[in-house]
Amino acid sequence: MPEIDRIIPPALQGVYDSWHFAPATIANGLIFCSGIIGTSPGGDTPDFNRQSGLSGAEAATASAESGLEDLQAVRDPEGQFATAFEALRAILRAAGADLCDLVEITTYHLDMARHMEAFVRVKDRYLIAPYPAWTAIGVAELIVPGGLLEIRAVARHPDGQAT
């Protein structure tokens, strides 16, 4: 049976402890990232020079009494999409990879027709050729109120193995 490593960036330890899932796992040289929504404390777009894309989840799990209802989606759609990509990047870096190592992304969208143009603009700032496979799915609801997008991803580990 293959060994599976759990990737838990320090900012997401509360997510693992309170909500009982790993932000990412590594098995057979692949990194499987749980879905991520662009959240922040207060719903403002984070200043990525001072905050990580993980600041919303970190703030929401700061106390043992925190629950999923404490997550706040970034209110600005483009800011929310950028925050989701920044969070994905932070998780991949904790696993020893980066966005250039993505092999597949699946994106789940609320009101896809309304926000797709903005999403593609943001996606194209973060993902460069050679591009990963991509599937976009329209959904009725996401776990975080105000969430417009959730990104789930698979990346290759640069070493081809677990950390």
Average pLDDT value for the chain: 91
pLDDT digits (tens, 9 = 90+) for 126-154: 999 999 999 999 999 999 999 999 999 99
Give the CA radius of gyration of the chain: 15
pLDDT score recorded for residue 52: 83
| DSSP single-letter state for residue 131 | P
pLDDT score recorded for residue 161: 57
Structure tokens at 79: 């800011």
Torsion sign across C-alpha atoms 145, 147, 153, 157: negative
Query: Who has greater pLDDT, 116 or 163?
Result: 116
pLDDT digits (tens, 9 = 90+) for 55-89: 888 877 776 666 666 788 999 999 999 999 999 99
Helical segments of 37-138, H only: 55-60, 77-94, 112-126
